[in-house]
Each structure stands twice: as C-alpha cells, then as structure tokens.
C-alpha cells in the first residue's frame, strides 16, 4: 500500500542518494565533490560493496519505473521520486541546489559546456588510453595499442585540453580569482580539480612536464585553490576518499615509456 501523501517527503526535502560502483573514485567522484564542497549530506550507496553491485547491475538492466526511464550506466542519482543518470546531467541538476551554479540563464549552458568538455578530455579519453580496443577485454590483451594511444594522448590531447581550460580561465567570463567562470567557485572548478588529480595519478611524468612548461599556470593554480578549500582538504585526507585502482584513472608505468 502506498504511503499517504502527507507522509511522503517532498523532493526538495528528500535525501540525495548516489548509486555507483564500490571502491573507486571514478565518475562518481565528480558528483561526490559537489556534496563535500557544499557541506550537504548524501547517502553514498557505493560504500557497501555487496549492496552497491546489486544496485548498479539492477539499474543497468531494468526498464526504469513509473516515473523514470532506465539508465545505461552509473553514476545515478536518486532524489525523492527522481532518478537520473549521466555524470554531466547529474551535475547540471545538483549545481543550483547546492549553490554551485546558477539555476537559469546563460550561465547554465556555459557551465554545462565546460563540464562536458572537461569530462570528454580527462575522463572519457583517459579511459580510452588503457582500453583502446574494448572495455570488455583485459588491459594485458590491448597493451600494445594502449601504449600507442597513451603516447598520442599525452603528447597531443593533454596539452590541447589543458590549453582549453587555460583559455577559459583567461577569458573575460572567468571574472576575478582563480575560477573558471563568473569570479566564484562553481561545480566546473570541482570537475577540473578531479580531472587534474586523476590525470596526475595516471600520467605523472606528462603532467609534471605540463606544470613545468608554465603554459597552464592558471589551471594548476585553480587545482591548488580547490585543494585548499577546507571541506575538500578534510575530505581528501580522510578515509572517505577512495584510492585509485582499476577504474578510469590507472597508473601503468609502461604507458609513459618512450
């Protein structure tokens, strides 16, 4: 029997639930950092590994529910009756609610374009560096191709995406301070922070070279500014932050060899 209307939580009062694979930062981290920075509690359903895997595989095979279409993959966010997937889409939904982006106007679309571009460059393309042939096959079986892809990624794509981020910082629309847009911290700064953090882990030599080049000083200054935010700093040092492993950002030293 359905609960009486009066006992149901309105969506705006409902808790936020993140559904994701257990034990990895992954795309879920791009969502978690918003809650951390905003100091808003959420239920992280990835924390109990047994439950998390069932939730994820269930979502990826069901046909949605009365109110929501099905998801292809996680992260997914549940908020009251609403269930949504796709990282950039979840960020778009959460940002105004958490005070990390505007709720209307041109800024919504400007920030969404920045988020989508950073995710393309430092999340989706990073995954391709270790799985250029097939996600379903072992890394060991595509290592030679991964070396070629990584060489192109570190020599061409990393500089190109860093240059893009630097251009956004250099643009008039970035305003004052180290931030990407509008003179204050928004969710895309948190996205860039995680992108740089993960890419430093996966390709430390390449990223050290990029930092030393002096061409992207604004990007690395922004990274440090986010790192020093009190809530972020506390979180990154805590055991709530997962270590990297066999996820999107992986460290295979052979992918940086000449």
d(CA 42, CA 181): 26
User: Pairing between strand 43-44 and 76-79?
Assistant: unpaired
244 in contact with a second copy (CB under 8 A)? no
DSSP for residue 2:
P
- Check binding of 252 to a second copy (CB under 8 A): no
Which residues does 30 contact at the CB level (< 8 Å), separation at least 6?
Answer: 75, 87, 91, 119, 123, 190, 191, 194
Minimum CB distance to a second copy smaller for 12 or for 228: 12
Give the whole-angstrom CA distance, residue 196 versus residue 226.
11
Cα distances (angstroms) measured from residue 184 to each of 96, 116, 252: 14, 19, 36
For tokens 């041109």, the residue is 106
Tell me the site size for a second copy, rule CB under 8 A.
55
Q: Which of residues 108-167 bind a second copy (CB under 8 A)?
A: 109-110, 112-114, 116-117, 120-121, 124, 128, 132-134, 136-137, 142, 145, 148-149, 152, 156, 161, 164, 167
User: How do strand 43-44 and strand 16-19 relate by DSSP bridges?
Assistant: parallel
Note whether 57 binds a second copy by CB under 8 A: no
Asked if 38 and 16 touch (Cβ cutoff 8 Å), the reply is no
183: contact with a second copy by CB under 8 A: no
**E strand intervals along the chain:** 16-19, 43-44, 76-79, 82-85
The residue range among 80-88, 191-199, 209-217, 223-231 that interacts with a second copy, by the rule CB under 8 A, is 80-88
Residue 6 binds a second copy, judged by CB under 8 A: no
**What track of x and - describes contact with a second copy for positions 197 through 236 (by CB under 8 A)?**
----------------------------------------
Please identify which residue in 1, 2, 67, 140 interacts with a second copy, judged by CB under 8 A: 67
- Beta carbons of 232 and 33 less than 8 angstroms apart: yes
Is residue 98 part of the contact set for a second copy (CB under 8 A)? no
Rank residues 6 and 136 by Cβ distance to a second copy and give the closer one: 136
Residues at the interface with a second copy (CB under 8 A): 62-73, 81-82, 84-86, 88-89, 92-93, 106, 109-110, 112-114, 116-117, 120-121, 124, 128, 132-134, 136-137, 142, 145, 148-149, 152, 156, 161, 164, 167-168, 170-174, 180-181
């Amino acid at each position: 029997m359905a609960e009486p209307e009066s006992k149901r939580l309105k969506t705006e009062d409902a808790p936020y639930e993140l559904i994701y694979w257990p034990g990895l930062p992954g795309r879920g981290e791009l969502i978690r950092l918003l809650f951390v920075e905003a100091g808003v509690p959420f239920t992280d359903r990835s924390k109990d590994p047994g439950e998390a895997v069932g939730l994820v595989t269930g979502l990826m095979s069901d046909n949605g529910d009365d109110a929501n279409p099905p998801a292809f993959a996680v992260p997914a966010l549940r908020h009251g009756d609403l269930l949504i997937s796709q990282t950039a889409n979840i960020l778009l939904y959460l940002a105004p609610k958490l005070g990390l982006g505007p709720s209307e106007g041109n800024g919504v679309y400007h920030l969404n374009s920045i988020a989508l571009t950073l995710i393309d460059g430092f999340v989706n393309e990073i995954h391709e560096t270790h799985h250029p042939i097939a996600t379903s096959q072992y890394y060991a079986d595509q290592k030679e191709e991964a070396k070629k892809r990584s060489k192109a990624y570190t020599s061409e794509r990393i500089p190109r995406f860093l240059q893009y981020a630097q251009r956004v910082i250099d643009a008039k629309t970035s305003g004052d301070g180290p931030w990407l847009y509008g003179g204050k911290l928004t969710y895309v700064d948190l996205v860039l922070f995680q992108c740089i953090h993960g890419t430093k882990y996966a390709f430390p030599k390449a990223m050290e070279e990029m930092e030393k080049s002096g061409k992207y000083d604004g990007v690395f200054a922004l990274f440090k500014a986010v790192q020093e935010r009190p809530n972020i700093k506390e979180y990154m040092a805590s055991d709530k932050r997962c270590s990297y492993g066999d996820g999107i950002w992986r460290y295979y030293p052979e992918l940086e060899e000449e």
